[in-house]
Amino acid sequence: MSNRKISEKYNDSCIKIFALISLFSKGTADFSEVIKLFADDDGTISQKSNVILNKYMNTLEIFGIKIRKTKNKYYLLSMPFTISLNEEELYAVSLIKSAISILPDGKNKTNAIKFLAELEKKYDNDTKNLSKVVNSTRNFDLSFYFQKFKSQIKDCESLCEAGKKIELCYNDTECGIQNIICIPQEVKYRENLVSFCVYNTLSRQVIDIPVDSIRYIHQLNIDAGKSKICTTVIFKLKGDLIKRYNLRDWERSEGIDENGWMTIVNSGEDLNTLTTRLFKYDENCVVVTPKYLKTRIKKLIDKTLKNYE
């Protein structure tokens, strides 16, 4: 056999190995899917196909990829590239799993379950054994957090998927009852607070509205559209805060000026959340624009100072 033909055979074998690993990496694979990789040139499945498949399965086992076959289905048991977690890390994973279990059905829950399943596949043997101990000895009941808002959360997630504008009435802690026309974005979870994130089409602001403050929501027969221009906030940081500061996904740095201030451009963050965050930076932060946010922060500072008069 010529060197060229040998090389082509090796290439074909490598491609089939990676295709096989790709199938098994999903956790389960039907026999019909797997055997198709080893069909004859005309696409038929023969006895030869089964023989070749067995050889490839032996190869995977040699490299530490353990597969179990039950009836006409393959199950991935372990991969050679594993991770090791300690007891506290496994406790955190179990807390996340418990939180996911009480979420309403939808995109967030589906993606979270998929992520944890992929993570657990990569546990080494010690981590798998420790995980059983942790799950049997610790309490992970988090139902008291979001259970009472389960129906509202489900409605909000449905509105996000519908792609329509909505009329929303809610109670703002500072401004009282508000009515806005907005575009649903997502449901956010932070500690024990769940918020409905919307884009206000009039003010061009992203707003995180606590679910328990919503009075009513009415879906409009108007497509949400794809264009979204958010309010841009520009602020500056200085000192050691510059070294510690981690840019958010919706932020960019404009560099450090001659006076040692770093300029940050922020677009799309809820202004209440941003205001609270910037307020924590004390004298190491100053808002440049917009003017109304500067005024809001100044009022907040004045209100705080009154507590010490």
Question: Do the Cβ atoms of 99 and 56 come closer than 8 Å?
Answer: no
**Phi–psi pair at 255, nearest 5 degrees:** 90, 180
Residues in CB range of 6: below 8 A, 6 or more apart? none
At the top level of CATH, the class of 162-223 is mainly beta
Q: Report whether 307 contacts 271 (CB < 8 A).
A: no
Task: Assign domain 3-78 to a CATH class.
Answer: mainly alpha
pLDDT tens string, the chain, 309 residues long: the values are: 455 555 566 677 788 888 888 888 777 888 888 888 888 767 778 788 888 888 888 888 888 788 888 888 888 877 777 788 888 888 888 888 877 777 767 777 888 888 888 788 778 878 888 888 777 766 555 555 566 777 888 888 889 888 899 999 999 887 889 999 999 988 887 766 788 989 988 888 888 999 989 999 999 998 887 666 677 899 999 998 998 898 888 899 999 999 999 999 998 788 888 888 888 888 899 999 888 888 888 888 888 888 887
Domain 3-78 and domain 162-223, same fold? Reply is no
Alpha-carbon dihedral 88, 90, 93, 99, rounded to 10 degrees? -70
**Where are the domains positioned within the chain?**
3-78, 87-141, 162-223, 232-306
Q: Give this prediction's pTM.
A: 0.49
What dotted CATH number matches 232-306?
3.30.70
> Looking up tokens 């679910």, which residue turns up?
211
